[in-house]
Amino acid sequence: MGQYDELQILNLKGAVRSVPQPEAAAYLLGCLRAEPEPSRAVDLDLLGAAEDSPDPLPLLCLRCRVSHALETWLLVTYKVHHQTTGIELAAMASYALDDDGELTIRTGPSERAPFTYAQIASLPAGLISPFSAEVLRSYDPALCGLPHWAKLKIQAHNELKAYFRQHGLLLISDWALLRNTSPTRVRQACEQHLRSGDTIEVLCALHRQYRDPYDFAKLKHKQKTGKASGWQPDLSFLRALAPDEDPFTTSDRLRGIAKAIRQWMTQSATQSLDQAAEAGFEAMDPASLSSPTDDDAPLPQELKAVIEAALQGAIDQHMPQVLATLGKNAELLRCLWAGWAEGLSNRPLAERCGTSCGTVSKKLRPTEHANTIAIAAALELKRHQAFSSCGQSVEAAERLVEALRNHLLEQEREGEVAPLRRWIQQYLSNL
Amino acid sequence: MTNPAPIDPLEAFPMPEGAIELDDSTASLSARSMAVAALQRALRDRKLSLHLGPETALGDAQRLLSLNRFGVQLATAGVLADQLAVDVAPWVSEATAPQLLLAALVDEENAVVAFPGVLTGAEFIELARRAERGDESVLLDPLAFRGGVERLLTLVQMVDPEALPRLSLTPALQAAVGSLVAVVDWLRGQLDGAFSALGGELTPVAAGAFRSGAVASEAAEQALAMLVIPFGLSGDQLVSGDAARRCVRKFQLALIPTGPDHATHPTGLVVRLSSAVPGALLPDGLQLEARQGSHRQTITTAMSTELELVFQASDQLLDVSLRYGQAEPVELPSLRLPS
């Protein structure tokens, strides 16, 4: 098994591998006479031993255990999101699997001390390295099992969250998920996905109790730490939530509900993607949006010229500012816009410009820019009699802006280049 | 509980399209303040110099935002929320109601804000009537909001403020239900408060004053008084009074007690719906219904310039309602027109 005597480590080549820890194995053999099956009881025995003695080995066994839990979480998350977002296992592991098995821990710029429980408990507040030490020193066995605690801690890792955001992903804690899920969805999720000895009514009642104390505790946490992330329910929170229950049981139930919600949302996300793939879209012609009954309206050709002039003016006003970004991003931006103007989609664009798909989405935002241009053009067109009704009608205003935006982004006829792409091609070629 | 095939749950969720990432300095802000910061960022990114206020109370959840002279209510929920609670306090009266309702989904842990979209006042009221209620709030699905922040920016720049009326959740339309009005009072120049609340006015009866077409009905020629109520369509919502006068599609409902010259009691009542612009077409699908005892008349516009129903005085009360599409009908106070 090796859960207590093998560390999962990110090596210098960027791969995750198991590294046997002979001293940990010898300790286990000496204490337990055999390699133990992973269990909560063994975790608690080792934790007790680590707390009570200056020996670093029981803590090393637990560091191994934590590294396995972290690796499992990393692999599952990587497997689900790698294809769509381009997240890399090595990058993710660098935040979590940084424990090399040393029996001393850095305590200052050039100081080291024995890697014992007493030592890590005495280190100042804030994230300590390796990450397994942070997991272990903050672990309260009354709240949940050690593997789950490791998962909760990695979900709250600020640098990993930032890495995920760069790739268009959000790490949402179980606690925020519970707060922001309606009773109706909780019931559905529990009915469909939760395997538990508790009745749905018990679980829903617990969830109903959760919201207000969570808001209060979260506010306190913000005031104390200046941060919104990192909050975990403590014993007093769990006892207040369900006074007649064991806090471990309450925590277990809440985590069970959160997992059911995640499963429900996973299922819904898959269904939504299928539906989106079947959905179509039909572009509108802005010229069709002027009032057909207006005798003074210009002929379609004249109207088209008015629209084109308004769009051209709005593009000339807006896009040069977008493309003129200076600094270290200038080269990347130019590469991205040039590729987009050629018609490349996000993945080939990311490959060509050496960045992630998430970065492409965030840096380009062509639809947003097209909308800004469309509004500016529509404001100009509103002064024209044929479009004057747009000021009086929500529907007319929206239809005009939507039609202009689609006109900017869509090719009118096969083989043609969409106006916004064409403009960018010309602009970049003149630089 | 069932035992379904296990699903590997998502540990991370895709960031909503168009979500705005805030910097670390916002970490301790409230969800509302984060949403405001994201809105300011959206304006800055688009280089829009639209005024956003109130400048000293942007974080105050009790206050409406003012964006380019539009009253905007900001409602926040978590980024994965399936229900968003909208405070109904501002919607109690037209004086305090917002013109637009902006939804913001805030992930406080990641300092990320997504704007699923905007509802106009009329759209909100339409949804609110069918929605689940919470404590002093209406619970809406964030998916009911559409268009993202782009729709907000489109509306506040393109539409004239007066074209987006401030509407109340408990409007005069509702207050009118259940009251009883004696038509004979109109002949004495007295108008019930329920009709006044609808924006109704007694207008002088001059020859042909109520004619909207070339030919007026014989009954209408015997008009003794005329009560005119302005109506309009704001989106798919029927509105009356001042809100109706700001609508593009506006029309009027005239209630005309009739009888012989100089009669002191009316012998009949003409109910006429016509465009505010004489001779213009009414919106298709407007349904005028009247009930007098077991007698019921219904008529619907279809390329119509007017609808007209005629009733004789009776001991039975007369109930008139106006309906458009799936929206709640407007029920007028019951009318007493004694024989």
**pLDDT tens track of chain B, all 339 residues?**
444 455 567 788 999 988 999 998 888 899 999 999 999 999 999 989 999 989 888 989 889 999 999 999 999 999 999 999 999 999 988 888 999 999 999 999 999 999 999 999 999 998 998 888 887 899 999 999 999 999 999 999 999 988 899 998 875 445 455 567 888 888 878 887 778 878 888 887 754 445 444 344 555 567 888 899 999 888 778 888 877 877 888 999 999 888 887 677 888 888 999 998 888 899 999 999 988 877 888 899 999 999 999 888 888 888 899 999 877 788 888 888 876
The SS3 call for residue B49 is coil
The CA distance from A416 to the nearest CA of chain B, in Å, is 27
Among candidates B1, B77, B164 on the partner chain, residue whose Cβ is nearest the Cβ of A191 = B1
Contact A172 B154 (CB under 8 A): no
Contact B110 A155 (CB under 8 A): no
Taking CA atoms, what residue in A is nearest to B12?
A171
Contact B248 A227 (CB under 8 A): no
Can you give the pLDDT at residue B251?
Answer: 93
Can you give the pLDDT at residue A274?
Answer: 52
Exposed/middle/buried for B186, CB within 10 Å: 0-12, 13-18, 19+? buried
Mean pLDDT lowest among A62-71, A184-193, B197-206, B225-234: B197-206
Size of interface A-B (CB pairs under 8 A): 176
Exposed/middle/buried for A274, CB within 10 Å: 0-12, 13-18, 19+? exposed
Can you give the pLDDT at residue B219?
Answer: 53
- Please report which confidence band the pLDDT of residue A270 belongs to, taking 50, 70 and 90 as the band edges: low
Contact A259 B160 (CB under 8 A): no
Q: In sequence order, which residues have a C-beta less than 8 Å from that of residue A164 and are 6 or more positions away?
A: A87, A170, A171, B12
Can you give the pLDDT at residue B277?
Answer: 85
- Please report which confidence band the pLDDT of residue A302 belongs to, taking 50, 70 and 90 as the band edges: confident
Question: Structure tokens of B230?
Answer: 């302005």
Can you give the pLDDT at residue A286?
Answer: 56
Question: Structure tokens of A25?
Answer: 């194995």
The SS3 call for residue B313 is coil
Task: Calculate mean pLDDT across residues A81-103.
Answer: 92
Percent of chain A with pLDDT over 70: 92
Taking CA atoms, what residue in A is nearest to B147?
A398
Can you give the pLDDT at residue A103?
Answer: 96
Mean pLDDT, chain A, whole residue set: 88
Taking CA atoms, what residue in B is nearest to A221?
B28
Contact B155 A394 (CB under 8 A): yes
Among candidates A179, A200, A391 on the partner chain, residue whose Cβ is nearest the Cβ of B159 = A391
Mean pLDDT lowest among A51-55, A134-138, A176-180, B196-200: B196-200
Can you give the pLDDT at residue A276?
Answer: 45
Mean pLDDT lowest among A39-48, A94-103, B160-169: B160-169
Contact B163 A401 (CB under 8 A): no
Chain A CB within 8 Å of residue B159 CB: yes
Can you give the pLDDT at residue B339?
Answer: 65
Residues of B with Cβ-Cβ distance to A156 under 8 angstroms = 109
> What's the Cα-to-Cα distance from A376 to each of A164, A380, A385, B160, rounded to whole Å?
35, 7, 17, 15
Place of tokens 């859960």: A3
Architecture of domain B20-163: 3-Layer(aba) Sandwich (3.40)
Contact B82 A165 (CB under 8 A): no
Treating both helix axes as pointing N-terminal to C-terminal, what angle do A357-364 and A346-353 enclose, rounded to 10 degrees?
A: 100
Q: Of chain B residues 222-251, which have a CB less than 8 A from chain A?
A: 235, 248
The CA distance from A114 to the nearest CA of chain B, in Å, is 34
Can you give the pLDDT at residue B101?
Answer: 98
Task: Calculate mean pLDDT across residues A388-399.
Answer: 90
Q: Are strands B146-147 and B112-120 parallel, antiparallel or unpaired?
A: antiparallel
Taking CA atoms, what residue in A is nearest to B76?
A180
Determine how many CB atoms are found less than 10 A away from the CB of residue B96: 13
Can you give the pLDDT at residue A297?
Answer: 52
Q: How many residues does chain B have?
A: 339
Contact B82 A171 (CB under 8 A): no
Can you give the pLDDT at residue A60?
Answer: 97
The SS3 call for residue B104 is strand
Can you give the pLDDT at residue B85?
Answer: 95
Instruction: Answer for the pair B18, A86: CB distance below 8 angstroms, yes or no.
Output: no
Give the C-alpha separation, A79 to A87, whole Å: 10
Q: What is the DSSP letter of B263?
A: -
Percent of chain A with pLDDT over 90: 63
Domain ranges, ordered by start, for chain B = 20-163, 172-336
Q: Of chain B residues 11-50, which have a CB less than 8 A from chain A?
A: 11-15, 18, 21, 27-28, 45-48
Mean pLDDT lowest among A240-244, A269-273, A310-314, A356-360: A269-273
pLDDT at A242 over 90: yes
Task: Calculate mean pLDDT across residues A32-53.
Answer: 91
Give the C-alpha separation, B28 to A224, whole Å: 10
pTM of the model: 0.73
The CA R_g of chain A, rounded to the nearest whole Å, is: 29
pLDDT at A319 over 60: yes
Give the C-alpha separation, A178 to A180, whole Å: 6
Task: Calculate mean pLDDT across residues A234-260.
Answer: 94
Among candidates A223, A267, A382 on the partner chain, residue whose Cβ is nearest the Cβ of B158 = A382
Contact A378 B158 (CB under 8 A): yes
Amino acid at site A142:
A
